[in-house]
Amino acid sequence: MKRNLLAATVAIGILTLTGCNKEKEPELTSSIQQASYGIGLNMGQSLAQDGLNELDIDALTLGMQDALSGTEARVNEKDIIAAFGQLQAELEEQASQAGEANQQAGVDYLAENAKRDGVVTTESGLQYEVVESGDAEGAQPDASDVVSVHYEGKLIDGTVFDSSLQRGEPIDLPVAQVIPGWVEALQLMRVGDKWKVTIPSELAYGPASPSPLIPPNSVLVFDMQLLGIQGQE
């Protein structure tokens, strides 16, 4: 019962907000207004991450109003399905074009980065630069180990997509269960090492990105520090 009441209250709040005069923004002072705004904000962020930031906001709002108020749909199901299909095709085409552009940009970046002093390119194409060395006799992890790492991951344009440094705590992870570029790099590092590791897309996520923050075929750049190996002092 409480859940149904909450759903109804949220629905009323959304209807109130979407029905407001567009020239006058709601004050967002009451809890239902703030919750309604939060729902809209989360939906918008999710849609933007999926590449849907060019949706018609007026039509989107109208659809929400009709659904929440129980009004009969203004567009029939057949046309909606066809529209979804067209939108999906457009998004796939955009992703394909972006992937091709990223692939060439990555090739160019790797070629230039390989020329920098101190950059080592392995047989696989992985590139690394030693920023700070740990003990020369320090332990090196095997594929079966679990390691503790601090890192910050960036795209080649400098955009940070993930960072344990920003979160303020390192991550423990099995060496064998990360992307191939990390698997290789970690087994080359010694405890205490800080490296800048540049990973070709084929050693990262390739065309199938796990996150909207990482475009298809992206070369990834990581600042990595190997802090320790589980079970070892």
pLDDT in tens, 165-181: 999 999 999 999 999 99
**Residues designated catalytic:** 151, 161-162, 179, 205, 222
Containing structural domain, residue 47: 2-69
Q: Characterize 22-58 residue by residue with b for buried, 16 or more Cβ atoms within 10 angstroms of its Cβ, and e for exposed.
A: eeeebeeeeeebebbeeebeeeeeeeeeeeeeeeeee
Q: For residue 61, what are its two tokens?
A: 């709002």
With 60 as the cut, is the pLDDT of residue 12 above it? Answer: no
Residue 91 has a pLDDT of 79
Q: How many CB atoms lie within 10 A of CB 76?
A: 9
Is 79 inside a domain boundary? no
The verdict on 134 and 171 lying in the same domain is: yes
Is 74 inside a domain boundary? no
Is 137 inside a domain boundary? yes
The verdict on 47 and 102 lying in the same domain is: no
The verdict on 131 and 193 lying in the same domain is: yes
Is 89 inside a domain boundary? no
Of 2-6, 45-49, 90-94, the range with the lowest mean pLDDT is 2-6
* 194 burial via Cβ count (<10 Å: 0-12, 13-18, 19+): middle
The verdict on 30 and 106 lying in the same domain is: no
Looking at 23, 53, 69, which one is the last position of a domain? Answer: 69
As a whole number of Å, the CA-based R_g of the chain is 24
- In angstroms, the CA 103 to CA 120 distance is 21
Residue spans of beta strands (DSSP E) within the chain: 119-121, 127-132, 146-155, 160-163, 171-174, 194-199, 220-229
Is 90 inside a domain boundary? no
With 50 as the cut, is the pLDDT of residue 31 above it? Answer: yes
Token pair 């959304």: residue: 14
The verdict on 8 and 108 lying in the same domain is: no
Is 120 inside a domain boundary? yes
209 pLDDT band, cuts 50/70/90, is: confident
What is the end-to-end Cα distance of the chain in Å, rounded? 55
The verdict on 45 and 111 lying in the same domain is: no
The verdict on 48 and 109 lying in the same domain is: no
- Provide φ and ψ at 137, rounded to 5°: -105, 10
The verdict on 109 and 62 lying in the same domain is: no
Between 193 and 68, residue with greater pLDDT: 193
Most confident among 65-74, 158-167, 205-214 (mean pLDDT): 158-167
With 90 as the cut, is the pLDDT of residue 51 above it? Answer: no
152, 220 contact by CB (below 8 A)? no
Is 88 inside a domain boundary? no
> Can you tell me the mean pLDDT for 118-145?
95
CA dist 12 to 19, 36, 160, Å? 10, 9, 39
The verdict on 61 and 168 lying in the same domain is: no
With 50 as the cut, is the pLDDT of residue 1 above it? Answer: no
Is 75 inside a domain boundary? no
- In angstroms, the CA 201 to CA 98 distance is 14
Q: For residue 82, what are its two tokens?
A: 């066809």
Number of domains composing the chain = 2
The verdict on 144 and 33 lying in the same domain is: no
Most confident among 2-16, 44-58, 89-103, 144-158 (mean pLDDT): 144-158
DSSP character string of 38-96: HHHHHHHHHHHHTT-TTS-HHHHHHHHHHHHHTPPPSS-HHHHHHHHHHHHHHHHHHHH
The verdict on 106 and 60 lying in the same domain is: no
The verdict on 18 and 113 lying in the same domain is: no
pTM (2 d.p.):
0.67
Of 61-75, 177-191, 192-206, the range with the lowest mean pLDDT is 61-75
- Classified as helix, coil or strand, 85 is helix
